Amino acid sequence: MKKPFLHSESAADVGMEIQQSYDRLLETTRKWIDILHFDPLLETGLTPRDIVWRKNKSRLYRYVNHKGYKHRTPILMLYALINKAYILDLRPGMSLVEYLVDQGFDVYLLDWGEFDWEDRDLSFSQLIVDYISRAVYKVCQYSNVNELSILGYCMGGTMATMYASLYPQPRIKNMIYVAAPIDFEDAGLSSIWLKASVFDVDKVTDTFSLIPKEFVDLGLKMLNPVNNFVATYTRLWKAIDEGVSIEAWKALNKWVDDNINFPGKAYREWVKYLYQENALVKDEFIINGRKVVLSNIDAALLVLTGKTDHIVLPQQSTPILELSSSQDKTNLQYPVGHGGLVFGSRARNEVYPTIAEWLAQRS
């Protein structure tokens, strides 16, 4: 009797060959990724700049504009405490800072530096009062103005909100929120994981004092583990298809793994008062003995969100539109994730020009 074409032994052989081919492909891909990752000469944050003010480890940059200023109102950029500033100035051709400078804006950025053991007791009160407020004063002093625009990316937008609600002078003329959390009622998986009944933030903070960057990094990546641990490889080919340079792709992956420690006191406040108590939208968050009242904010608002952002969900950003007193409000959503608002072809071709045009009309 004639045997079937695929009997059990041959099927097993075919399966083994497929598995071996897959393993070889995966190993080759990983080797190429390792080669691409290893670039000791890869530089980021290349837009020329001057340091115009320092406090401890923080530095206030003013970016050099050789073409002259077309717009009088300066821009101060703020970003998250746990990241490096160069996400806003990644590589030439893929830099929001560079784009705005080329459009004739007077651009500043407050770089937090890298927090270490001696910074473990830094609180949001100190960060707002001693750092952001002084940086704002220096921006206005160097640009010889009495008003400015603030762009806050991620947590930088949250802190910008705290500052703007408490300081009427110098006047904040324009506020740009880029994936910035304001309402923490529904923060996706973060709301579940950080719920007070299951996450003891006091115990975590008392144990570490200074929250290690690895602890924060792993937590963020586990919000979307497939994308963060596996899709790194597929993003390379997608980036190539979209016309993004290999250098820009490597720079982004460098930034993703280049986090910094989180001061323990600020971390406790961030989790307890925002994620667990949602104090900001309730006007119950306290800075230096004063309540942060969102209705005090009357600047023109531009709120940018990513439809697929799993770190800051769109509904976390948009409540500022209703809670502020602003009469000039714009809300735009893009089909991207958290980083896609500042990196990638859509950021370069759509988000950057939108920010520049919106600011130009109000500066």
For 279-322, give the DSSP string. Answer: TTTTT--EETTEE--GGG--SEEEEEEETT-SSS-HHHHTTHHH
Considering only CA atoms, which of 266, 222, 324 is closest in space to residue 80?
Answer: 266
List all residues 6 or more positions away from 113 whose beta carbon is below 8 Å from its beta carbon: 56, 57, 58, 59
Tell me if residue 237 falls in helix, strand or coil.
helix
154 is catalytic: yes
Which amino acid is residue 359, in one-letter code? L
User: By the 8 A CB rule, do 110 and 30 touch?
Assistant: no
Given the residues 119, 140, 183, 338, select the one marked as catalytic.
338
| 89, 140, 154, 183: the active-site residue | 154
HSE value, Cβ hemisphere, 13 Å, CA-based, for 162: 30
d(CA 348, CA 156): 21
- Given a contact cutoff of 8 angstroms between Cβ atoms, the answer to whether 158 and 280 are in contact is yes
Decide if 309 is catalytic: yes
- CB atoms under 10 Å from CB of 146, counted, come to 10
Asked if residue 160 lies in contact with residue 150, where contact means CB atoms within 8 angstroms, the answer is yes
Q: Cα separation of 250 and 42, whole Å? A: 8
Q: Is 140 one of the catalytic residues?
A: no
Separation CA 274–CA 22 (nearest Å): 45
DSSP class of 175: E
AA letter at 231: A
φ/ψ of 244, rounded to 5, equals -85, 135
Give kind and range of the element (H or E) at residue 198.
none
Catalytic residues: 154, 309, 338
